[in-house]
Structure 1
Amino acid sequence: MAGIWRVYTPTNIQWAATALNPDELDFIESEINKSKTKRTSGPWEPWIKAPFDFPLPIGAKYGARFTPSGSMRNALYGGFEAVTAVFETTWHFLRFRKASSPALHCRREMRRIFTVGFHETAAIDIRTLPSAEMDRILDPFDYSASQAFAWAHSTAPSIIAPSVRHESGICAAVFDIAKLETKVSYMRELSYALTEDKEAVSVRADIEDITGVCVPTQNGRMHLRMS
């Protein structure tokens, strides 16, 4: 059994940003979740269930590398290292925040990072494919090949692949929640904000090796400049 790291975005960013402490944030999350339609039953903690409760089919705006628009399968995405999960999520944060209202550019947003046990049984591992096919699936800017691969393997419980944003990282897309342990084994607070020049992401966390500035490269990767 492996452990995968996931960066979790609280349901209501404005409330989360003003939470006085983790206990208050937990209370806010539980109250919000009471009003949401639940599709995922079972003993998993809400942080683990959250991505599996997104509306289906997946909308045109919400397709991801292995969860194409129109799919009836959600996935929990994570990295095998904390820094991998941070690199993957800061790349998307930077892209979306730069495209948002200027009023939001300087606002710092709270996140949580946790690790959960992952059973790799029956996973499809992209690393076993011919290099040319793997390169198409891992294109840093074009998801068409990876989404076609996901459609072709629509019964796979999970897909393991090299991280596109972290040069030495490994990621997993888990479609079957039964492949995950029911409780997180580690959770910490962190936050993201655009840098003053709006070209990178400032990360604050109480985990030393992910605290600093995540800077994008031309090939779609991220690297960390320590604070």
Structure 2
Amino acid sequence: MTQTSSDAATEPGDGLVVGEDGLARPGWAATDPLLREYYDSEWGMPVTDERGLFERISLEVFQSGLAWVTILRKRAAFRSAFAQFDPDAVAAFDATDVERLMADAAIVRNRRKIDSTIDNARATVALREAGGLVDLVWSHRPDATPAPRSVDEVPSSSPESVALARALKTAGFRHVGPTTMFALMEAVGIVDTHLVGSHRRGTSGVWGSAV
């Protein structure tokens, strides 16, 4: 038995860890309690509201180059700093708000990412005249989802994520490359990249068992 934490029991060898609760999770979600809770209850579940998608895009933007757990630990602070990710409110941010955010040690103080998030809020508002952010993002759902049996089989991008990145950039979004957008698609249930064998595989209601 390989003991990786008090809650991790065995490693089947495909990147899954079977915890003491008998549930199989990928290694990244098996030890840290915050990541485990995020994986068990949120990651891969459908997000179909504008504010929710804007928040997820914003967090993916800030995550670029950082560990996802860092963003999760700062999530409450991000919500407070960015008006609960209300696109209308963030779209109205000005230079004073940028300086406020750059001085906020509770979030990631990266001016390029802050500026991108404000620009993305404005693009989100503008998209309402063309069907809205939710329709644009979900229109890139593929005909089939991956069915990875090991972590090595999980893709980092797809033709649909390339197309989504292109469409968002055309609509005025920034910092939304194909890899970042594939991560978004995984997070909001557009694709199901839970490993076959994970207790979360097929639980989103979007893809069924999808094996």
User: In which range does the TM-score fall when normalised by the shorter chain?
Assistant: under 0.3
TM-score (ref. length: structure 2): 0.26
Give the alignment's TM-score, normalised by structure 1.
0.25
Higher helix share: 2
Higher strand share: 1
